[in-house]
Amino acid sequence: MLPREMRSRLFAHLLRYDGTRVEKIAVKLGDASYEVLIANGLLRNAGKRIVRRCGVPSRCVVITSPRVRKLWGRELERSLSAAKLPFALLTLPDGEQHKTLNTVDGLLKQMAAAGMDRSSLVIAFGGGMVGDVAGFAAATYMRGIPFVQVPTTLLAQVDASIGGKTGVNLPAGKNLVGSFHQPELVLIDPAVLSTLSDREYRAGFFEVIKCGVIRDQKLFAAIEKKPQSFLQRDTASVMKAITASVNVKAEVVSRDEREGGLRRILNFGHTIGHALEADGEYKRLLHGEAVGWGMMAAARLGAALGVTPQKVADRITDVVLKCGPLPRVNSEPAKIMRLIQSDKKTLHGVPHFVLPTAIGETTITANIPPAAIRKVVAGLNQLVAR
Ligand SMILES: NC(=O)c1ccc[n+]([C@@H]2O[C@H](COP(=O)([O-])OP(=O)(O)OC[C@H]3O[C@@H](n4cnc5c(N)ncnc54)[C@H](O)[C@@H]3O)[C@@H](O)[C@H]2O)c1
Ligand SMILES: [Zn+2]
């Protein structure tokens, strides 16, 4: 055993290899395993980290949005050049309406024109929309080439960039076309969140609360105790929120890559949430905001059915409301019920609900009386942020 001082110096050295503390979280999927690295300032070392994991690919394309390119593009470009990576930049227009096969078609043609081959690399640099589209282009170009995720919204950092789900929307519904394609590496720099609007940040934060409810009671308690330190983006709190959420997602995905079992718990708050999001035509509510409403609905449904202790349901509602404001919802319960039944995750017309049994634990339940669901939806608009 090394003396204590040497141990801590060695430990500090390992953690601060690039001058910043780097958290490393493994997603364990056999041959498709990869690491999620989290550190403030990591963008400056992105090139080096990519080379360390992928070597020097024949060519790279960075796929991004105009906004992210303008705000953070220079920093990423500098780090790729410093690592001698040959790259081209491709931009996608912002907005969910561009998450289409048509956009992917345009990207694939530009990738071919840029001379990409099987040993080339795609770097997805942006929010979840960019990650899903760029990941899908990487999954399909030459039957699949490697890609790296560099997520820049809180939602993408804690959720969308991990787990390998890629894809686009069809007019008939969201994310109806896609593929599982795991990234080689996920690089998370919380510092890029400094330019994110409060509304986008809060929307991502509801997915952090979700991770607390389903799997991490310590994270939930920390948010409950000091929501303001998380909402005001105190550096240590943001780091804690991201690291804890990535740990939850990585562990769940490692145990169930394709959503056969455990991965379904990540849908907590999403059954009613998706329906509220669709009812607002994807304009009224951001995805995370819909999940905020959906978590309160699931907690209240669980309490009405005697599955969730009332105290637990109240704690969840309180935390979500404290992390608002949420845009009001005024959906017609019967319409929400129809939307739930037509959701792609609804099996044979029977919706499944993830219901909390305690903070940090859930159960999955089907065959819930539609009247109970309608009642909960009808009661939602009486909940107002304090
Ligand atoms: N694959 C998955 O597992 C998974 C999981 C959850 C969500 N998603 C998908 O993610 C998408 C939503 O992602 P999102 O919430 O990140 O939204 P988004 O990608 O649409 O980004 C939201 C906005 O933030 C801007 N932006 C990004 N980074 C920024 C920064 N650092 N500073 C300032 N502005 C910035 C973007 O340009 C955009 O205008 C949806 O398409 C959803 O289906 C996928
Ligand atoms: Zn979600």
Q: Which DSSP string corresponds to 103-153?
A: HHHHHHHHHHHTT--TT-EEEEEESHHHHHHHHHHHHHGGG---EEEEE-S
Ligand (nearest to CA of 204): 1
Nearest atom in ligand 1 to the alpha carbon of residue 204 is 15
Question: pLDDT, tens digit, for every residue of 224-264?
Answer: 999 999 999 999 999 999 999 999 999 999 997 776 678 89
According to the model, what pLDDT value does residue 350 have? 80
Active-site residue flag, 181:
no
For ligand 1, which residues put their CB under 6 angstroms from it?
65, 67-68, 71, 94, 96, 99, 126-130, 132, 152-153, 155-156, 159-160, 163, 165, 175, 192-193, 195-196, 200, 287
Mean pLDDT over residues 364-377, rounded? Answer: 92
Question: pLDDT, tens digit, for every residue of 190-204?
Answer: 999 999 999 999 999
Q: State how far the Cα of 39 lies from the Cα of 36, in Å rounded to an integer.
A: 10
Task: State yes or no: pLDDT of 1 exceeds 80.
Answer: no
pLDDT band at 78 (very low <50, low <70, confident <90, very high): very high
Domain with CATH 1.20.1090.10 in the chain: 198-380
Active-site residue flag, 233:
no
**How far apart are the CA of 153 and the centre of ligand 1, in A?**
6
Task: State yes or no: pLDDT of 6 exceeds 90.
Answer: no
> Residue 231 in 3-state DSSP?
helix
Domain with CATH 3.40.50.1970 in the chain: 4-195
Q: Which of 40, 104, 149, 153 to mutate to test the pocket of ligand 1 (most atoms within 8 A of CB)?
A: 153
**How far apart, in Å, are the Cα atoms of 235 and each of 191, 206, 221?**
9, 18, 18
Active-site residue flag, 207:
yes
Ligand (nearest to CA of 267): 2
Active-site residue flag, 143:
yes
According to the model, what pLDDT value does residue 193 have? 98
The contacts of residue 321 (CB under 8 Å, 6+ apart) are 296, 383, 384, 385, 386
Task: State yes or no: pLDDT of 2 exceeds 60.
Answer: no
Annotated catalytic residue, options 207, 257, 277, 289: 207
Q: Identify residue 162 by its one-letter amino acid code.
A: I
Annotated catalytic residue, options 233, 263, 284, 352: 263
Active-site residue flag, 255:
no
> Residue 156 in 3-state DSSP?
helix
Q: State how far the Cα of 265 lies from the Cα of 214, in Å rounded to an integer.
A: 7
Task: State yes or no: pLDDT of 11 exceeds 60.
Answer: no
The architecture (CATH level 2) of 4-195 comes to: 3-Layer(aba) Sandwich (3.40)
Annotated catalytic residue, options 267, 277, 289, 315: 267
Question: pLDDT, tens digit, for every residue of 208-220?
Answer: 999 999 999 999 9
- Hey, what CATH topology would domain 198-380 get? Dehydroquinate synthase-like, alpha domain (1.20.1090)
